Amino acid sequence: MLYTCVAACILAGCSPTGDDKNAVIEQKVESLLKRMTLEEKLGQMNQISSYGNVEDMSALIRRGEIGSILNEVDPQRINTLQRVAVEESRLGIPLLIARDVIHGFKTVFPIPLGQAATFDPQLVEDGARISAIEASSAGIRWTFSPMIDVARDPRWGRMTEGSGEDTYLTSVMGVAMIKGYQGDSLNDPTSIAACPKHFVGYGAAEGGRDYNSTYISERQLRNVYLPPFEAACKAGAATYMSSFNDNDGVPSSGNKFILRDILRGEWGFDGMVVSDWTSITEMISHGFAADAAEAARRAVDAGVDMDMVSYAYYKELPQLIKDGKVKQQTIDDAVRNILRIKFRLGLFDNPYVDENLDVLYAPAHLEAAKRAAVESAILLKNEKQTLPIPASVRTLAIIGPMADAPYEQMGTWTFDGDKNHTVTPLKAIRELAADKIQVIYEPGLSFSRDKDTKGIAKAVAAASRADMVVVFVGEEAILSGEAHCLADLNLQGAQSELIEALSKTGKPLVTVVMAGRPLTIGKEAALSSALLYSFHPGTMGGPALADLLFGKAVPSGKTPVTFPKSVGQVPIYYSHNRTGRPVTGNEILLDSIPVEAGQTSLGCTSFYLDEGWTPLYPFGYGLSYTTFEYDNIRLAADKLSVSDTLRVNFELENTGNYTATEVAQLYIQDKVGSINRPVKELKRFQRVTLKPGERRKLEFKLPVSELAFWNIDMKKTVEPGEFALWVATDSQSGEAVPFEVTE
C-alpha cells in the first residue's frame, strides 16, 4: 500500500501575504485593471533595460509603455523615471525597478556556491537582507535571485550562482535568500522581491554548455529539479523567471506544463513570472516559433507575464488579440499578476526612494561579508597540521595571481561591487602579520590565465627565503558565470607550473584556490602541504582568509558539490542512482591491467579504467583544525509509520585542540522502491560549535513524510519498507543505520 502526501502548498497556496491584505489588494488590482486600455496592459507586461537617455525612457513611460526597468541603479534617475510614471502617465502606475543583485549589491558576499559551502542558512539569510537593504537604498525593489538550479556539471559556468549539486541544500539556501530579500513584509521599503530562477532545469545543460538543451524526465524533474522551486513558492517568493533552455524539446518560456500546471495549478503561485532576457523571441532560434508573433502567443499562453526586453508582447499582442489568437482574459490575468506584486511591494503608496540613505558598505555589512567568507572556506588538505601558520614562522612568502586581485575575488555578477572596497589576502595578511612576520610578496604570474613563466623564478627565490609559502591561485571572475563555461577544469595559465616550482623548494606550501567552481586540482593538492578552497569570497575575502590562515578563525566549510578528479568523470555527484553493476572495490585500474588481459578479466562494474569511481573530494567534505568524533548514533524508534517523525540521536565530540564548528549531516537511503532510488540523499544538517574536549548530545528530526518521492505512478509517496541512514561528517563517511517504515 502506498501513502500519498498532499503538498501543504496545494492547500495553502503560495501567497506571501495574509488573507485580509490579499483581499484588499485584489480589489485594488481589479479596479485598476478595469480602467486600463489594452496598450496600458501590454505596457505593464513590458520590461526594458535602462539606457542612458532619461528623456527617451520618460517618453515611453509617460505613454504607459513600460511596466518595469532593469539595470538602473542611480537613485536620482530612478526617482526621475518613477515621477514620470506616477505623475505623468495616465494611470500613475509605478515602475518596478529590477537588478541582478546576486551575492550582494555594493558589499559583495561570497558567490552563492561559496555561501552554500557554509551550510549556514541563517548567515545566508542575513547576507540577503543586507543585499536588500543596500539595493533598496538605490531604489531597486526586485532582484533576479536566488538561482536555485541544481547543477551537477562544473563545466557549466553558472554553477557558481547556485548552491551546487544537491536538491535539499539548494532548497534550504534558496529559502534563506528569499527570506532575507523579502524580509518580514514585501511592503517594507527595505524589502526587495525575490525571483527564483531559472524555471526550470537550466542547470542540466547538456555538456555543461550554457543555454544548451536539457533532457530531464518528468520524474527526475519532480524529484531533483523542482523541489527547490516548490520550497521557494512556499516561502512566498514573489516572482519567478522562466529559463532559457528547452527541456525535452519545449523551451521554458513556452512551457505551459511547468508555468501553469505545476507552478500555478499544483503550487498555487499567484505572483508574477518574467521571461529571461529575450527568451521569448529566442524561441524562434529554438525552432519553437516561426516569428515574434508566434513566440509572443506561445509565451503568454504558457504563462509568462512579463517580457524581459524582447518587446514581442508590446508589438505583437495587439494583433494577436484582434485576430482572436490570444484571449483578453490571458492578458488580464498576466496584468493582475504584475499589479499584485506592485501593490504587495507598497509601490503605489511609496514609489520613491529616499536619496539620502547612507547604508552602502556599512561596517556591519562588511563584518557579515567577512563572516560569510570565513564560513565558506573549505579546508581540503592539512598535512601534518601545516595550518594554522605556526608562531615559529618568521618569514612568509605570499605568491600567486589571486593574492592581490581585488576585482577577481569578487566573482561573477558583481555589476555594482567596487574593487576599491575589496580587501585582498595580501593586504589583510600584511595587516595581521604587522611587524611580527616578514611578508615577501612575489606574484609569479600576473593573472590566472597568464602563461608567461618569466616571473616564476622570482617567486621561487622569494619562497626559498621564507619559512612558509602561501600561494593564491584560481580563476578570474570572468571565467565563471553566465555563458562562461569551460571544457577543461585544470588551473589556467601557468599556475600549475608555479605550484610545482614552489613545491620543489621543500618549504611548507599552502595553496589557496579562489574560484567560481570546483577545479580539477588533484595534482596541485598532492604537491601542497595544505589546501584551502575559497569560492570567490567577495569584498572581505582577504581578511577572512587571513584569519583562517593564522588560526584566528577555524575552517568549517563543506563542499556543496563533488570535486571531480578530471572532467571525464563529469557529471559526478553523490546522490546518483544505483547501477546493476556497482563497484566492488576490487576493480583493476589502467596501470595494473596485464597486457592481453581477457575481455571480462577486470570484472564488469561501473567505473573508469583511468579515474576509478571516486571523486577528488566528495560532497559535504571539509576538514577543520580540530578533529570530531561521532558516537552513539541511536534511533528513538527504528520502526515508524508514515505519520511519525524519525528521531536520530547522536553524540559529537571535539577531540582536538581548537574551538571549532562541524557540519553534522544526515543522509538516508530508500533500499527498495517502485523506481531506482539514489544511493544517498541529504535530509538534514546542523552546524555545531564545540570547545576542545566538549561532547554534546544532538538530535536530527525528520518527519517520515519527507521520505516521499515521485514514484512509478508519478505520485509523491512514501513507500514503506527498509531504509538506511547515516549521520556523518560528509557524504562518504559513517556507518549505515537501518530503520523501517511500516504501512
Asked whether position 212 contacts ligand NOJ by CB under 6 A, the answer is: no
Residue 600 CB neighbours (<10 A): 7
Whether residue 28 contacts residue 319, with contact meaning beta carbons closer than 8 Å, is answered with no
Position of cell 605570499?
Answer: 398
Cell of residue 119, nine digits: 551550510
Helix (H) or strand (E) holding 208: none
Contact 668, 724 (CB under 8 A): yes
Number of residues counted as binding ligand NOJ (CB under 6 A): 6
Nearer to ligand NOJ, 144 or 607 (CB): 144
- Using DSSP's 3-state secondary structure scheme, residue 609 falls into coil
3-state secondary structure of 48: strand
Nearest distance from C-beta of residue 482 to ligand NOJ, angstroms: 5
CA atoms of 702 and 679, how far apart (whole Å): 18
Judged by CB under 6 A, the chain residues 473 through 492 that form the site for ligand NOJ are 482
Residues ≥6 apart with Cβ < 8 Å to 321: 38, 327, 328, 331
Beta strands in 505-642 (DSSP E): 509-515, 530-535, 628-635, 639-640
Closest CB to ligand NOJ among 295 and 702? 295
CB of 734 to ligand NOJ, least distance (A): 37
Minimum distance of ligand NOJ from residue 57's CB (angstroms): 17
Calculate the alpha carbon distances from 738 to 221, 324, 543, 634, 670 in Å: 28, 61, 45, 10, 10
Asked if 278 and 308 touch (Cβ cutoff 8 Å), the reply is yes
- At its nearest, how many Å lie between ligand NOJ and the CB of residue 438? 46
CB of 517 to ligand NOJ, least distance (A): 17
306: Cα separation from own chain's centroid: 24
Contacts of 545 (CB under 8 A, 6+ apart): 373, 377, 425, 428, 512, 532, 534, 537
Q: How far is the CB of 143 from ligand NOJ (least distance, A)?
A: 9
Q: If you compute the radius of gyration of the chain from its CA atoms, what whole number of angstroms results?
A: 27
Q: Smallest gap, in angstroms, from Cβ of residue 23 to ligand NOJ? A: 32
Query: In the range 556-585, which residues lie near ligand NOJ by CB under 6 A?
Result: none
Q: Which is nearer to ligand NOJ, 277 or 608 (CB)?
A: 277
Please list every residue from 424 through 483 that binds ligand NOJ, using CB under 6 A: 482
Residue whose C-alpha is closest to residue 182's, from 149, 138, 135: 135
What does the per-residue mask of binding to ligand NOJ show for 138-157, with x meaning CB under 6 A? ------x-------------
- In the complex, the smallest distance separating the C-beta of residue 277 from ligand NOJ, rounded to whole angstroms, is 4
Query: Distance (Å, rounded) from C-alpha 30 to C-alpha 339?
Result: 9
Among 91, 185, 257, 277, binds ligand NOJ (CB under 6 A): 277
Q: Which of 352, 305, 324 is nearest to 75 (CA)?
A: 352
Q: Which residue is nearest to ligand NOJ, using beta carbons? A: 144
276 binds ligand NOJ (CB under 6 A): yes
Q: Which residue in the list 276, 404, 547, 730 is annotated as catalytic?
A: 276
Q: Which of 103, 197, 517, 536 binds ligand NOJ (CB under 6 A)?
A: 197
Give the residue ranges of DSSP H helices in 63-166.
75-83, 112-117, 121-137
CB 397 within 8 Å of CB 440: yes
CA atoms within 13 A on the CB side of 437: 25
- Alpha-carbon span 654 to 531, nearest angstrom: 22
| Amino acid making up residue 105 | F
How many whole angstroms separate alpha carbon 101 and alpha carbon 108?
10
Q: With binding defined as CB under 6 A, does residue 209 bind ligand NOJ?
A: no
Rank residues 277 and 348 by Cβ distance to ligand NOJ and give the closer one. Answer: 277
Torsion sign across C-alpha atoms 715, 720, 723, 727: positive
C-beta closer to ligand NOJ: residue 276 or 547: 276
In the block, which residue shows the cell 535539499? 168
Minimum gap (Å) between residue 295 Cβ and ligand NOJ: 17
The least distance separating ligand NOJ from the CB of residue 196, rounded to whole angstroms, comes to 11
The answer to whether residue 365 forms part of the interface with ligand NOJ (CB under 6 A) is no
C-alpha cell at 26: 485584489
Nearer to ligand NOJ, 197 or 680 (CB): 197
| Stretch 371-400: interaction string toward ligand NOJ, x if CB under 6 A | ------------------------------
Q: Does 651 bind ligand NOJ (CB under 6 A)?
A: no
- Least distance from C-beta 146 to ligand NOJ, angstroms? 11
Return the ∠ at Cα 588 (arms to 585 and 592), rounded to 5°: 145
> Rounded to whole angstroms, how far apart are CA atoms 286 and 242?
15
CB of residue 310 to ligand NOJ, shortest distance in Å: 12
Binding mask 83-102 for ligand NOJ (x = CB under 6 A): -----------------x--
CA of residue 496 relative to chain centroid, distance: 28
Closest contact distance (angstroms) between CB of 413 and ligand NOJ is 8
What residue has cell string 536619496? 355
Residues 584-643 that bind ligand NOJ (CB under 6 A): none
Is the Cβ of residue 100 or residue 681 nearer to ligand NOJ in the bound state? 100
Nearer to ligand NOJ, 467 or 482 (CB): 482
Q: Give the separation between CA 529 and CA 316, rounded to whole angstroms.
A: 62
* Three cell numbers, residue 687: 552546524
Task: Convert 307-328 to b/e letters by CB count within 10 Å (16 or more is b).
Answer: bbbbbbbbebbeebbeeeebee
Residue 97-136 contact track with ligand NOJ, rule CB under 6 A, x = bound: ---x------------------------------------
**Which residue, 333 or 482, has its beta carbon nearer to ligand NOJ?**
482
Closest CB to ligand NOJ among 126 and 276?
A: 276
Q: Is 276 known to be catalytic?
A: yes
Residue of 259, 265, 245 whose CA lies nearest to 302 = 259
Cβ distance to ligand NOJ smaller for residue 40 or 305: 305
Which residues does 672 contact at the CB level (< 8 Å), separation at least 6? 721, 722
- Map residue 192 onto helix, strand or coil: coil
Residue number with CB closer to ligand NOJ (239 or 511): 239
Distance between CA atoms of residues 383 and 530, nearest Å:
6
- Choose between 48 and 433: whose C-beta lies nearer to ligand NOJ: 48
What share of residues in the chain are helix, strand, coil (percent, to 5)?
A: 35, 20, 45
469 backbone dihedrals φ, ψ, rounded to 5°:
-125, 130
**Helix (H) or strand (E) segment spanning residue 320:** helix 312-322
Active site members: 276
Q: Which residues bind ligand NOJ (CB under 6 A)?
A: 100, 144, 197, 276-277, 482
